Amino acid sequence: MLLMTGAARPELITVRPSPLAELCAALHALDEPEHHPASQAWLSAVHHDITDDLLARATVWAPLWGAFRARYLLPLTTGPERSLDAELAGVSRLSVEAFTALTLEALISKNRTSGEPPQDPAGALRRLRPISLRRYDLGLRLIDDPARFRDELLDFLAAFAAALLDEEWRRVRADVDADARARQRQLRLDASRRPSTASAPHRTTRPA
């Protein structure tokens, strides 16, 4: 997981494993398997073991980890790695207003035609209706009761991880850690090669 704390300069990028980010990447692969051929073995095992109820719930929530993932499903802060429970607790501590805005942003996602997602419920639903009924239905649930919406989402994420991802996370953890260390070393190397801002030539553009 790459976490940028400012502009995309190497010294402002933190690399750390995120169980929540990995969980949502797995759920994305479950929803769009044709885009993730390397995950077929894991997906086959999931479909063998998953209950109908859990699969139905995964399908309902899937727009939140589509091509435009809800921002709170990625690390929100820098610092040391946190457990999945701690990351989910962080989502639960967001204000209702922030959670609602970030959820609408994810639901509208790449279908945004201009500006930020509308803040008024009617405007948000007007944007969601032509995108897809699945996103529109989630929008209705969110606006009707955002606190309950969040509780049900977090309950699903915890249940899916416990049933189908915890063992896989333990299996791949060593590879994830090794990849994170390699990326962090490369970032430090890139930062050391970056010219100092103070010594870089200053250019101005003269008006024509």
Domain residue ranges in the chain: 19-172
Q: Which residue has the higher pLDDT, 190 or 118?
A: 190
Supply the pTM of this predicted model: 0.78
Surface-to-core class of residue 18, CB atoms within 10 Å of its CB (0-12 exposed, 13-18 middle, 19+ buried): buried
pLDDT of residue 2: 45
- Return the higher-pLDDT residue of 173 and 144: 144
Given pLDDT bands bounded at 50, 70 and 90, which one contains residue 188? confident
**What contacts 148, CB < 8 A, 6 or more positions away?**
141
pLDDT of residue 196: 56
Mean pLDDT over the full length of the chain: 82
* Residue 206 pLDDT greater than 70, yes or no: no
Res. 116: pLDDT tops 70: no
Residue 20 has pLDDT above 90, yes or no: yes
